[in-house]
Structure 1
Amino acid sequence: MSLDNCDREPIHVPGHIQSHGALLAFEVSGRLVSRSDNAQQLLGFPLPALGAGLEAPEFAAQPGVVRAIRDFAARDHAASGVAERSELAVGDRIFDLILHFNGHLVVAEFEERQPADREIRPFTTLANGALSLLRAQRSIDDLLRVAVTAIRALTGFDRVMAYRFRHDASGDIVAEDRRADLEPFLHRRYPASDIPAQARRLYVINTLRLIADVGSAPVPVRGIGSEPLDMSWSTLRSVSPIHIEYLGNMGVAASMSVSIVIGGELWGMIACHHLAPLVVPYGKRVACDVLAQLLASNVQTLLAAERAERVEAASTVRGQLVGAFVQTEGMLEALRPFVPALCGLFAAQALVASEGTETLVHGGVSAPAGAELLRWLRANGPPEGLLAVSEQARLPVELSASLGTWCGLLALQMDDSRHDWLVLLRQEQVETVAWGGRPEKVYKAGPHGMRLTPRGSFEVWREIVRGVAVPWSATELEIARGLQAELHRAGGSRRAQVTRARDQMLAVLGHDLRNPLQTITMASQMLARGADGATVGPRITRSSTHMARLVSDLLDLSRLQGGMGLAVSRAPADLAALVRDAAQDLMLGHPGVDVAVEAPATLEVPLDTGRVRQLLDNLLGNARQHGDPGRPIQVKLHEAGGHVRLSVANHAPPIAPASRDRMFDAYKPESLDNSRNPGGLGLGLYIAREIARGHGGTLVYEYRPPCVVFVFTLPRA
């Protein structure tokens, strides 16, 4: 048997049983069609030849056997695997008789009770204390710890472990009770190949499996006809040679497994090991099976509660994020405080997001890799705007090389333009899974190779999962779709509000452009009639300057809304001189306005002089328009901690919360028809903040009684 085809090994029809019991198989009519070679010796009475019926003299001498089999055969046997246990006396010997249907056959298995086990209490009594303890647990880990302790106490195995299987059928040992001198296996992980697919199927349909003596020779089962007996539901079914070798390499002489089945799937397993042969009486095994069924029920309840809790947590984060989105101008600004929560919600190690020309990168993924990923998504994202990938092979070679070990991604398109994306990332499993135990420990290898040793299995698993991340679960995809839908709805609502405000702004713009145009037209007519140019010229200058400012703001707005960003070209400049010039120009243009400047003699900073002057003019203009008349505007410039801070303060009451939340928005209805800013479009603070961002800095609002303060911070270097 090679390892390449062990998944196809027909372990359900081995043609042998284990030596601690005997097997007979009958047609429903009572005709004997199969028997194990040891049946006559183990049962202690003669057996007729194959093909004989229950009326044969040999069976007639054993009325208890005949009655048990005929009574069972007379019942509805539509479902294969339905089993029944009874106690059977043959002379002075006591057997556990386990009967089950297998298609049209009744399979009878006999296990002799040893004298020490003949007074075994009913399994419900045996398991009663453990059942009560299980019901009291409130976490899956605690349930599994209680279960392994109870099963070891009940059966006497040297080691009892609880496996929890993962998405790929690999398993982690999450609880263990063992003999004190044994090496701990807790927290080790084993690959799916250690339990082949056909073995997993049998663990689901036959939830309890005992291997009483790894070293004993299997007993042949003879039958009528060429078809081997299907032993899928047999308790005595012999063991695959590959599995025998695996147990031998671990030093195990006897083992027992109890399946934890949830929703028809093998969720976990209780695995028991013993260093010497051990026959666990059938009654105790049934007690363990009952414990596992209650365990499975409780685990299923806790899993449902965990899912509900996770969905509720996602709903809370989603609601808070959408609320922040509605109150801020940009998605990334709203997203930043929620990045750790989103990564935790999706069990992701990194996050990348884009909005226009801005990119947000969090976690171990590099900024260039994040930018490359976003470019690929913009060009290749699916029409539905949701992409879940967990294998490196599904990504283009260039992108995969850029991302390195980041091979799991869950990408959500945040808008209808296919331009803005939110991406959660996971690393390949080799980077994220801890392996317990002593890596240097070497186990004996057999003819089937190192893969059949615990350590060798892990090494093979490491190669199998290179370039593979833990896939996104159905719950995570459900949460992602809900988040995406909410973001789209919030974005649609925001776009509708922006459209209304933009239409209103354009109406105001048309009105505001008409006035200076009329002034210029009238002034040109007056010049044509010979009016004094010294009188008319300043009118033309003021009107054209007003129009130029409006057009400049609109051009900047167009660049920003189009995702192009503001053109910023930095060079060393004296920011202190720039601040004093801007203050002087404001006072010259508006007699009676006083600007107090506190700044060093010089302060050289790399900046775009024209853009920063635009920012200063906006802040000083706001301070003049909204400050208390007669009170000076205070401008302070200083350097601290590698950053330059410029503050502009004016005496005024604090800005109302509703206006404060929208002050940096492009479209603010309250900025239009503002008596304190006639002819303005309300774009000043919006553009000023983008200028600050273009310099790698920030622009924020503060209130320091009795002053409203705007603080511009940018890097010194």
Structure 2
Amino acid sequence: MRHIDCHEERIHSCGKIQSFGYLFVFDRYEQCIAASENTEQRWLCSASSLIGKNIDELLYFLLPKYNTLFQHFRDEIADPVFYRFVEKVDLDGSDYYVSIYRHAEKLYLEIEQSNGFDLKQTKLYYYAKHLEREDSDVWKSLTQLIREIIQFDRVMIYRFKEDKSGQVIAESISHNLDPLLGYRYPEFDIPQQARALYKAFLARHTADTESIVSPLVQSTEEEIDLTRCSVRALSPIHLQYLRNAKVRASASFSIIVDGELWGLVACQNVLPKHVDLAQRHACTFLTQYAVNYYLAVCRKQETQYIELTSQLEAELKEKLWLNNDLLATFNKFAHRLMNKLAADGMWIGNHKEQLSFGHVPAEQHIAAIHKLLDVQQENVFATHEFTYTEGLQTSEPLFPGVIKANLVPDSSWTLLFFRKEHRIEEVWAGKPEKIIQYDPVSNQKFPSPRTSFEAWKQINQGTSIKWEQREIQFIERIVLLVQQVLAKKAGEIQRLNEELVNANNTLDTYSYTLTHDLKNPLSAIRLSAQMIQMKSDLSEAFLKRCSTNILDAAQLMAEMMDKMHEEFASSNAVLLKPYLIDPTAHILSIVETAKQEHNVHHLHFELGEVYPVLAERTLLFQLFLNLIGNAIKYSGKEQQPRVNVYSRIDNSHISYFIEDNGIGMDLKDNSDIFEIFRRMPNSTGYEGSGVGLSIVKRIVNRLNATIAVESEVGQGTLFRVDFVRHQ
């Protein structure tokens, strides 16, 4: 025995036509392959005699007075915007609508009766303004307008819910009918394939549930797809459903929101009534207009909500920046957050500390909620039907509405919002149960239309008011905000730590710079003083030269200490005022002093061509002091120590070269020779602390220059410093 479900009924290919219309179907070659049987009543010829005729030939036969009217219908139906060609004609004193359209590689010709409805353009403008009234509900207004147009006893807005059941959310009725506002209808009242048809074709109606339907006479046994057919008959199951509801005529107009079937304008009339094509078009237009206005209102409300919540987010962000204490910050914003979410309570905390506000579950229940929700991987999880029963007393309130937000990744910091149970009495239009009947003739079971639509009530419990999507998104933004602020704070702390390390390193560098670089002028002073002490009969010229050396060295020491003080005081790069300097005198003075200091009296020193460079005097002296001093020191133990200093010039740079034949360096391990306190393994036995080259690197950076080195162990070293010619 086979069980036929509602969704298996092929309602789009039922092969039957309502009594107020006629249908002709043509193949891709525009030859008639099907005609409704009732054609014989109107044109006194059998439907089978029309099979095989071309559409132009058939139009001439059916509507001879309007032969020229249909000459250009192919141009209109080729345009996707005007896919249906419609004209109003007169047949023996009665008005009819003629429709021609393409669907599923076939051509359709419909002829249906008109009831004389005529919609004036001024009326349409009035209807549109009526829908836009701010003091009314757009859906309620739509029911009033459609009822005015089609004159039905009941017009209601039927909205689909997430569980695919439906509910009446607006209604306009005759005074003698009982209201159905708020009534629920089960999902199986409108099966799946019916919903697909509502989405594909926006208007459907039946003029009389008791009228005789006409079958299609076809040249083949193939099923004719009547998805877009306005005169298609309803399925027997749905007709019986309407009869059980004591309805003789019905109409429906699809409400499509963002491409999905959002609901229906469902219309019912106690007595038979035909809704003609012009009325259906007007109702379809107004329904879509109402959808557009509804979406505009929703988006305006959404924008307003975002503006209000954005202000709260900005204030919360500011407080989080100023206060490291999450609990203290959320303590100040708890009630405003709860208000934005329409939450009854809020909880924030971790394993060690927590705070709660408003109405929240007992502490042991919150622990159970944490345990049950720990499996959720999302940063934000929301439900309106959460259940927790362990240790729950019957007198305690339920909180099935829960939002759980993980505030800080990889931590126990959690934010919870609660909504209490919201018990409501739901009223159903009849008990929502599917009744299956048995047909002994076909040996099949099939769903029977419900016979009772009397109010059936049930208490909906164990759930809260559902969280709106915008509320969930608001909490998602709060979580992201907290994480961004904490991450940025962590970055700031790391940056400050790095700056502190740099400051300490800089302080070390300053101290070592002073002790390192002041040795040279001090040596000059010491040597001049020793020479004065050692000789008794000194000439005026010799005394003048020694005193000049002492004064120059003292002046240089003063300038170096001033420069170090400026850098240390500002903890930043001092703004330099470079000018052209000829370093010849500096270089010669450094060479003489270094020879004395390192006892390299047999040094062969060669000074090549020297070009002035754009630099600051003290820093340039320190740069050459370290590079030339090192060259003399590390070549001093050679049999023939040699140091060469020279410069070259090009369009953009002046390059200085300091070359020696000393002990050299091993650069293969990519070690940073400019790092402070770094000394080469082969420098043992030579005085030094590893500070000189770090000072060189710092000075080169300050002077906007670059430095490079070439060296091999035992083969000497070549330093190259490139100064920018123009700044």
TM-score range, shorter chain: 0.5 to 0.7
Bigger mean CA deviation after superposition, 237-246 or 340-349 = 340-349
1:470 Cα shift? 7.4
1:183 partnered with 2:174: no
1:15 partnered with 2:8: no
1:128 partnered with 2:129: no
Q: Say whether the 8 Å CA contact 1:162–1:173 is kept in structure 2.
A: yes
- 1:177-326 paired onto structure 2 within 5 Å: 177-326=172-321
1:3 Cα shift? 9.2
Structure 2 partner of 1:682? none
How far, CA to CA, are the matches of 1:242 and 1:365 in structure 2? 49
3-state SS in 2 of match to 1:435? strand
- 1:14-163 paired onto structure 2 within 5 Å: 14-42=14-42, 47=47, 48-54=49-55, 59-60=60-61, 62-64=63-65, 71-73=72-74, 75=76, 77=78, 82-113=83-114, 117-118=115-116, 120-122=117-119, 124-135=121-132, 137-138=133-134, 142-163=137-158
Q: Say whether the 8 Å CA contact 1:152–1:160 is kept in structure 2.
A: yes
How far, CA to CA, are the matches of 1:312 and 1:350 in structure 2? 23
1:52-85 deviation digits (Å, cap 9, x = unpaired): 3346689546335765666324555485992232
Structure 1 partner of 2:565? none
Closer/same/farther in 2, CA of residues 327 and 442 from structure 1, 3 Å limit: closer
1:126 Cα shift? 4.6
1:424 partnered with 2:424: no
1:443 Cα shift? 12
1:352 Cα shift? 3.8
Q: Say whether the 8 Å CA contact 2:188–2:434 is kept in structure 1.
A: no
1:414 Cα shift? 0.9
1:230 Cα shift? 1.0
Question: What code does the residue aligned with 1:301 have?
Answer: A
Structure 1 partner of 2:371? 375
Structure 2 partner of 1:511? none
How far, CA to CA, are the matches of 2:376 and 2:457 in structure 1? 36
- 1:495-506 paired onto structure 2 within 5 Å: none
- 1:501-540 paired onto structure 2 within 5 Å: none
1:95 Cα shift? 1.0
- 1:440-459 paired onto structure 2 within 5 Å: 448=447, 453-454=452-453
How far, CA to CA, are the matches of 2:125 and 2:224 in structure 1? 37
Q: Say whether the 8 Å CA contact 2:24–2:110 is kept in structure 1.
A: yes
- RMSD of equivalent CA atoms: 4.3
1:414 partnered with 2:414: no
1:503-553 deviation digits (Å, cap 9, x = unpaired): 9xxxxxxxxxxxxxxxxxxxxxxxxxxxxxxxxxxxxxxxxxxxxxxxxxx
1:484 Cα shift? 0.8
Consecutive unaligned residues in structure 2, runs of 5 or more = 438-446, 499-727
How far, CA to CA, are the matches of 1:452 and 1:347 in structure 2? 41
1:484 partnered with 2:479: yes
1:125-150 deviation digits (Å, cap 9, x = unpaired): 55332122224x237x6222221111
How far, CA to CA, are the matches of 1:72 and 1:440 in structure 2? 48
Question: What code does the residue aligned with 2:167 have?
Answer: D
Q: Aligned residues: percent identity?
A: 23
How far, CA to CA, are the matches of 2:15 and 2:106 in structure 1? 16
Closer/same/farther in 2, CA of residues 458 and 39 from structure 1, 3 Å limit: farther
Structure 2 partner of 1:5? 5
Closer/same/farther in 2, CA of residues 55 and 106 from structure 1, 3 Å limit: closer
1:644-678 deviation digits (Å, cap 9, x = unpaired): xxxxxxxxxxxxxxxxxxxxxxxxxxxxxxxxxxx
Structure 1 partner of 2:660? none
3-state SS in 2 of match to 1:23? strand
3-state SS in 2 of match to 1:234? coil
Question: What code does the residue aligned with 2:98 have?
Answer: L
How far, CA to CA, are the matches of 1:235 and 1:293 in structure 2? 18
Q: Say whether the 8 Å CA contact 1:78–1:103 is kept in structure 2.
A: no
How far, CA to CA, are the matches of 2:33 and 2:91 in structure 1? 22
How far, CA to CA, are the matches of 1:251 and 1:340 in structure 2? 52
Closer/same/farther in 2, CA of residues 11 and 486 from structure 1, 3 Å limit: same
1:357 partnered with 2:353: yes
How far, CA to CA, are the matches of 2:495 and 2:76 in structure 1? 77
How far, CA to CA, are the matches of 1:26 and 1:70 in structure 2? 17
Q: Say whether the 8 Å CA contact 1:191–1:457 is kept in structure 2.
A: no
1:30-73 deviation digits (Å, cap 9, x = unpaired): 31111222122145666534223346689546335765666324
How far, CA to CA, are the matches of 1:163 and 1:268 in structure 2? 5
Closer/same/farther in 2, CA of residues 3 and 249 from structure 1, 3 Å limit: farther
Closer/same/farther in 2, CA of residues 5 and 333 from structure 1, 3 Å limit: farther
1:496 Cα shift? 7.0
Q: Say whether the 8 Å CA contact 1:46–1:58 is kept in structure 2.
A: no
How far, CA to CA, are the matches of 2:424 and 2:163 in structure 1? 13
TM-score (norm 1): 0.59
Closer/same/farther in 2, CA of residues 502 and 62 from structure 1, 3 Å limit: closer
Structure 1 partner of 2:380? 386
Q: Say whether the 8 Å CA contact 2:423–2:463 is kept in structure 1.
A: no
Bigger mean CA deviation after superposition, 175-184 or 488-497 = 488-497
Q: How many residues align?
A: 487
3-state SS in 1 of match to 2:126? helix
How far, CA to CA, are the matches of 1:399 and 1:39 in structure 2? 74
Of 411, 435, 446 in structure 1, the residue corresponding to residue 426 of structure 2 is 435
Structure 2 partner of 1:657? none
3-state SS in 2 of match to 1:380? coil
Give the number of the structure whose alpha-carbon radius of gyration is greater: 2
1:344-402 deviation digits (Å, cap 9, x = unpaired): 5445555443233325264464443222122344x5342x533345676xx99979999
Question: What code does the residue aligned with 2:276 have?
Answer: P
3-state SS in 2 of match to 1:186? coil
How far, CA to CA, are the matches of 1:305 and 1:73 in structure 2? 42
1:457 Cα shift? 8.6
3-state SS in 2 of match to 1:30? coil
1:408-456 deviation digits (Å, cap 9, x = unpaired): 543211123430111335678xx4555358x999999895468675568
1:111-169 deviation digits (Å, cap 9, x = unpaired): 223xxx43x3246455332122224x237x62222211111112111111123433444
How far, CA to CA, are the matches of 2:476 and 2:307 in structure 1? 14
1:608-658 deviation digits (Å, cap 9, x = unpaired): xxxxxxxxxxxxxxxxxxxxxxxxxxxxxxxxxxxxxxxxxxxxxxxxxxx
Closer/same/farther in 2, CA of residues 55 and 207 from structure 1, 3 Å limit: closer
How far, CA to CA, are the matches of 1:401 and 1:82 in structure 2? 65
1:295 Cα shift? 1.1
How far, CA to CA, are the matches of 2:2 and 2:322 in structure 1? 64
